[in-house]
Amino acid sequence: MNNESIDQLIEQHLEPGYRGRLLDRGLSRSMIWHDGLLPENAPHYSEDLSYDLLSYGYSLLSLAIKSIETNGNLDLRLKAFEKAATALMVVVNGGDKNYTQRAFHILLSASAYHLAHYSAKAYSLLKKYEYLSNSNILENALRLLITRNLKKLNQSIPIWKIEIKKKLDEFVDIESRSTIEELDDISANFNFINLVLTERYLEVLYDFLNALETGDARIIDRIEENLVKNISISLEYNFLEEWWIFRITKYLLRDLWYQTYHYILPKNNDDVNWNHFRLKFIKNLLKKKNAEIDLWPSQIEGAKRAINDSENLIISLPTSAGKTRIAELCILRALSQSKKVMFITPLRALSVQTEMTLSSTFSNLGIKVSSLYGGLGLYGFQKNQFEDSNILIGTPEKLEFVLKNDPELLQEIGLVILDEGHMLGLGEREIKFETLVQNLLNRPDAYSRRIVCLSAILPSGTDLDDFVDWLGYPSEGKAITSEWRPTDLRFGEIYINNDLNSYRLDFTLGTHNPFIPIFIQKKSVSSRSQFPNKIQDLSLSIAHKYVNDGQSILIYCPEKKSVNILAKRIIDINRQGHLCLDLGEIKSDFYTAALNQGKELLGPTHPVILCLTLGIIIHHGSLPKEYRTAVELLLKNTRVNLIISSPTLAQGLNLQANVVLFYSIYRFGRPIPASEFRNVIGRAGRSFVDLQGIVLFPNCKNERKKTAQWNSLILNKDNMSLNSGLGMLVLELINRVTISLGEENIHEIYEYIINSNYIFDFPEVHNESEDEIVKAQQQWKKYLGLLDCSIINLIGIEDIAIEEIAEYIDVLLRNSFFYKQISRLSSSEQLLFKGLIEKRAEYLWNTTTIESRQQVYFSGVSLETINDSQGVIENIFSLIGEVQIELTLDDSNNKIISSLLIQIAENIFYIHEFSPKSFPENWKNILDDWLNGRNYLIIDNTDIVIDFIEKYVAYNLIWAIEFFKIRYNRGVDNNIEQNTFDYISQVFDYGCLNKNALFLMQLGLKSRKQAYEIAEYLNFSDIGSLVKWLKQTNLHRNINILGEKNTKSLIDLSMGIGRDQIDLISKCLDDLIVTWSIDDPLDYIFTNIKLVNIDKTTYILSSTAEIIGKLQLHLNLDLMDIIHLYIQENHKLDIFFQCLEYDDVVMIG
């Protein structure tokens, strides 16, 4: 058949209605059956369904392979492989455990998924049924390749070859076997032929491993030649299973090669640095426990464009579809050009996670990765980090500080990555972020700095086009977008089934909606009540069911209060015995650290900590940041079966679970936006773990309105949008004026605002209530303040003449997201938008001084704060001066310093911009405890206290101190040193008065209590001295002084400091004695020989995976980057390699 005929047959097989929607019926059954059995009262399925699915799967698999052979349509072929894989998978996944051909069908299904470019699904399927692996060498070898356990495959091939050699020797003498050229002549013994075919297959895989190491594409042709021989002979002798494996491997290996980094990221003969970094990067990924050798379909275009550093990139991929890897390739390209990288994340939690991810990728390349934690500026040690690090991770505030206060530092930055770059809107932080990016693009050196934006929820259409035009300027391009996910999503709704006194689960799956009529059975818990009977209990019952089935589940709560309600309900339910929600202690050092941190901060009886002792994670934004960080590290490094979270965690971190359950799809009575829904459902289905992600909604009372909203979110009817916050701000101001005037004519509104003496007084609106007026006045004042700040941030410190200001601001915004979006409006509407912002700029220049505008620019505070707070600020300067005097004393008194800082805080809170909306009771006592490293959660309502500390102490007070520093430095009197301002900021940030405790916290120690305990024994004048001591001291010797726990924390701290700073060095092990198993080792002197560890022995392998010798030393090959093996004339061996300076590669025992 030709390719057109094959494509036509594939299209027929892919028709949704093919054979009575066969595949949909199979998928539907697989969602609800278990061990080959369906739930009671479940839908009926044909007894021949499994047979029909297997026939369909293998038929479609054969067609897909023929499509390769005839160069058929690629898209059709990939769909065919995927549907064939799914057909085989749904027969065995959840099917009868006693089915004899189960392991083979799973392997072929995984292979088909791999050929469909779903390598993560292939991995997940094989790992799930790993217990089915048998003694079949061919199946095990292919399984190891697909699951990327290349280290074990590399070790197993020579062992298997030894086994085969022994068996072959039983058939014929080794010399006669070596003379056989044509296997076809041998027909006497099928076992002999099978063994030879297996041996050749292993040599093929070993050859492929060599290709992955060297990047030599010529090996692929040789591999195919050998596999073609195996296919031909296995078909002739009717080795059916072997034929399938040889045949599918032939196409799988070439297809895999086309997805590898070697193929997609080619060498550049004119760029030595790029070739060096590229090879080290590929080798580093190859050495991982599960080798990372290929790119997903969603990543390939991004990877190719990553190395074209002349264009900015906008990458919009679903959660878990591989955005970070594309960012890493952009980083690799920048590093090869000796440029620094700044990775901007909107949340501190994301910074922590990003630091771990990038360190894992780049530390072995000798690249230093650092996070700039805490505060809004760069403290002394952070400036050192900035200078010493190759990759810096921080929040937008850190980048803004560098841009404004140390612009020369930015000249070293060649790449800026904006994670969650869609975070634009009408909020203060969003508008500042948009202005920050515009300032980056407006810089004269913008052409030398690349910007890469990452997002999971960018919209489509004109909003995306405008966004790309904005960030992509001046180069023209398009966003890298894809809907591809490594796992499928399945949606389900759970609702009351009164007929069966239970809750029913309905899945949505095409036209087939499989259901479980009794998913959660109600039970009587008293004479008057049943359980579960309300949404909290139903949600926890669902979680209990999935956890007991070995699944992990995330309960997503759009409102923080729901998280706290569920935490308390877990404790009650567990105590009452309605459900056993004790999931057991999590076996992890990160769990112990989180538990200790939680008990220290919240106490052992807090519901969040009681849940943690049950193995359940509770997370929301009003928990102490130290505890949140500890929990986030736990989630990053350890499997947790039940997580209950607010948007703070679920929308921020790369958090995955098999099941995501929406506790509600409403926030404060309004449906959650589609963008939020899309982001959260991306957490369902862990790549390389799950075959599918399940997204559920418990509609407890079966309310039709909620069902309709649920379906609307699934179908994405509420289309997402992305708008310029600056444009939205101007629109809000125009709308208020328009309503006040009662005028709809654009020309009249324009004349009123632009061509009059309009001074931006509050526009009154007829028939508004007093409450509405107060609220509108506050909003008007807030919006004008944001607009003023944006205008000043855009213009910067330039002293522009007032008659030039309108044209100047127009030029600055010419290529802005704001202007791109309003360009779609009528010309008169555009003039109105531009006119208002120009009018406000002129008004500002008429009513302010350059000094006040520069203070706004550098500090970000409002003009109102600058103009109206002089008296308070003078008091604060006086108090800061007293702090400085106290710090210079040899016996400085922390009690006095704490009292002064509380007075400073009290004065700062008099300024409206920094003042809390409400104060917790005894706030001064709380602040005193915070400053002195004590437990500050001294009242029952901890949420209020944490909110006070994190928003108003560790943010507003620091912001205020930065403002005072800027204002003071611009004055005449300079008696207060910058270090004093920095010290006060750090004390407010970390909650430590002791300088050495502060140093420890800055270096990454998580516990304030521990920092104080250790600081009692330290006396360093600066953080650099402490770092030097940590790196050079044998800390184990201090265990009797510091205690075991504190010593371990210091050791961990010192390892973290030095981890990314040491380059690989070249070494040589020479004159090694080898026990050779061959006659003349010199025959192998110019061949590709390698080392492998098998059972604590280091062997030498030939290019065909034969063991040709063993060393007397046992080497830790994981620590070695082998460069070359050299056999001397006296048959001794020299090994040239690279490793970390402090690594000892020789292992004992």
Instruction: For 282-328, give the DSSP string.
Output: HHHHHTSSS---B--HHHHHHHHHHT-TTS-EEEE--TTSSHHHHHH
Q: Hey, how many other C-beta atoms are within 10 angstroms of the C-beta on 114?
A: 28
For residues 100 and 198, membership in a common domain is answered with no
Q: Please report the pLDDT score of residue 939 as a whole number.
A: 66
Q: Please report the pLDDT score of residue 940 as a whole number.
A: 67
Tell me the C-alpha distance between 485 and 512, whole Å: 22
For residues 16 and 142, membership in a common domain is answered with no
Q: Which of 421, 452, 481 is the last residue of a domain?
A: 481
Structure tokens at 910: 């008099």
Max mean pLDDT range (167-181, 272-286, 966-980): 272-286
Q: For 672-703, how does the pLDDT look when each residue is reduced to its tens digit (9 = 90+)?
A: 998 889 989 989 998 888 889 999 999 998 89
Name the percent of the chain lying above pLDDT 70. 96
Q: Which of 259, 282, 306 is the last residue of a domain?
A: 259
For residues 472 and 494, membership in a common domain is answered with no
Q: For 192-204, how does the pLDDT look when each residue is reduced to its tens digit (9 = 90+)?
A: 899 999 999 999 9
Q: For 1071-1080, how does the pLDDT look when each residue is reduced to its tens digit (9 = 90+)?
A: 999 999 999 9
Nearest 10 degrees: CA dihedral of 115, 119, 124, 130? 60
Q: Is the pLDDT of residue 783 over 60?
A: yes
Q: Is the pLDDT of residue 795 over 90?
A: yes
Q: Please report the pLDDT score of residue 172 as a whole number.
A: 64
Q: Is the pLDDT of residue 1044 over 90?
A: no
1079 burial via Cβ count (<10 Å: 0-12, 13-18, 19+):
exposed
For residues 301 and 232, membership in a common domain is answered with no
Q: What is the CA radius of gyration of the chain?
A: 33
Q: Are strands 340-344 and 391-394 parallel, antiparallel or unpaired?
A: parallel
Look up the CATH number of the domain holding residue 440: 3.40.50.300
**C-alpha torsion sign, points 978, 980, 984, 990:** positive
Query: Has residue 225 been placed in a domain?
Result: yes
Query: Has residue 1039 been placed in a domain?
Result: no
Total tally of structural domains belonging to the chain: 7
Query: Has residue 963 been placed in a domain?
Result: yes
How do the residues of the chain divide into helix, strand and coil, expressed in percent and rounded to 5?
Answer: 55, 10, 30
Q: Is the pLDDT of residue 101 over 60?
A: yes
For residues 401 and 502, membership in a common domain is answered with no
Task: Answer for the pair 905, 883: CB distance below 8 angstroms, yes or no.
Answer: no
Query: Has residue 550 been placed in a domain?
Result: yes
Q: Hey, how many other C-beta atoms are within 10 angstroms of the C-beta on 900?
A: 20
Structure tokens at 534: 């309300």
Query: Has residue 1074 been placed in a domain?
Result: yes
Task: Answer for the pair 1134, 1071: CB distance below 8 angstroms, yes or no.
Answer: yes
Provide the residue range defining the domain that includes 1114.
Answer: 1064-1147
Please report which confidence band the pLDDT of residue 263 belongs to, taking 50, 70 and 90 as the band edges: very high
Which segment of 45-59, 342-356, 792-806, 1072-1086 scores lowest on mean pLDDT? 342-356
Please report which confidence band the pLDDT of residue 1087 belongs to, taking 50, 70 and 90 as the band edges: confident
CA 473 and chain centroid, separation:
27
Query: Has residue 1031 been placed in a domain?
Result: no
pTM: 0.91
Instruction: For 1062-1079, give the DSSP string.
Output: --EEEEEEEEE-EEESSS
Q: Is 1093 helix (H, G, I), strand (E, B) or coil?
A: strand
Q: For 603-622, how does the pLDDT look when each residue is reduced to its tens digit (9 = 90+)?
A: 899 999 999 999 999 998 88
For residues 448 and 304, membership in a common domain is answered with yes
Closest CA to 749 of 833, 650, 812: 833
Which segment of 349-353, 643-647, 1074-1078 scores lowest on mean pLDDT? 349-353
The DSSP code for 762 is: P
Work out the average pLDDT over 1118-1129: 87
- The mean of the pLDDT values for the chain is 90
For residues 16 and 120, membership in a common domain is answered with yes
Tell me the C-alpha distance between 950 and 622, whole Å: 9
Q: Please report the pLDDT score of residue 651 as a whole number.
A: 57
Work out the average pLDDT over 634-659: 84
For residues 246 and 394, membership in a common domain is answered with no
Name the percent of the chain lying above pLDDT 90. 62
Structure tokens at 158: 């020579």
For residues 543 and 681, membership in a common domain is answered with yes
Q: Are strands 616-619 and 666-667 parallel, antiparallel or unpaired?
A: unpaired
Collect contacts of 993-1002 with beta carbons under 8 A, ≥24 apart: 993/894, 993/897, 993/898, 993/931, 993/932, 993/933, 994/894, 994/933, 995/1020, 996/1020, 996/1026, 997/933, 999/381, 999/1023, 999/1026, 1000/1026, 1000/1053, 1002/373, 1002/374, 1002/379, 1002/381, 1002/382
Q: For 840-869, how does the pLDDT look when each residue is reduced to its tens digit (9 = 90+)?
A: 999 999 999 999 999 999 988 999 999 888
Tell me the C-alpha distance between 774 and 360, whole Å: 53
Q: Please report the pLDDT score of residue 346 as a whole number.
A: 87
Query: Has residue 99 been placed in a domain?
Result: yes
Closest CA to 556 of 622, 651, 487: 651
Which stretch of DSSP H or E encloses residue 83? Answer: helix 74-92
Tell me the C-alpha distance between 944 and 955, whole Å: 15
- Report in angstroms the alpha-carbon separations of 1062 from 285, 1055, 1139: 19, 11, 10
Please report which confidence band the pLDDT of residue 175 belongs to, taking 50, 70 and 90 as the band edges: very low
Please report which confidence band the pLDDT of residue 757 belongs to, taking 50, 70 and 90 as the band edges: confident
CA 71 and chain centroid, separation:
37
Please report which confidence band the pLDDT of residue 1141 belongs to, taking 50, 70 and 90 as the band edges: low
Tell me the C-alpha distance between 1047 and 1044, whole Å: 5
Q: For 425-435, how does the pLDDT look when each residue is reduced to its tens digit (9 = 90+)?
A: 999 999 999 99
Query: Has residue 674 been placed in a domain?
Result: yes
Which stretch of DSSP H or E encloses residue 350? Answer: helix 348-362
CA 837 and chain centroid, separation:
38
Sheet with 1133-1140, side-by-side order of all strands: 1064-1072, 1133-1140, 1121-1127
Q: Is the pLDDT of residue 924 over 70?
A: yes
For residues 1114 and 994, membership in a common domain is answered with no
Residues 6+ apart with CB under 8 A from 176: none
For residues 473 and 539, membership in a common domain is answered with no
Q: Is the pLDDT of residue 405 over 90?
A: no
Q: Hey, how many other C-beta atoms are within 10 angstroms of the C-beta on 802?
A: 12
Tell me the C-alpha distance between 1070 and 621, whole Å: 58
Tell me the C-alpha distance between 689 and 120, whole Å: 8
Residue 794 — φ and ψ, nearest 5°? -70, -45
For residues 777 and 760, membership in a common domain is answered with yes
Work out the average pLDDT over 1118-1125: 84
Q: Which of 434, 450, 481 is the last residue of a domain?
A: 481
Work out the average pLDDT over 373-387: 71
Bridge partners, residue 277, by sequence? none
Q: Please report the pLDDT score of residue 585 as a whole number.
A: 86
**In the chain, how long is the greatest CA-to-CA distance?**
107
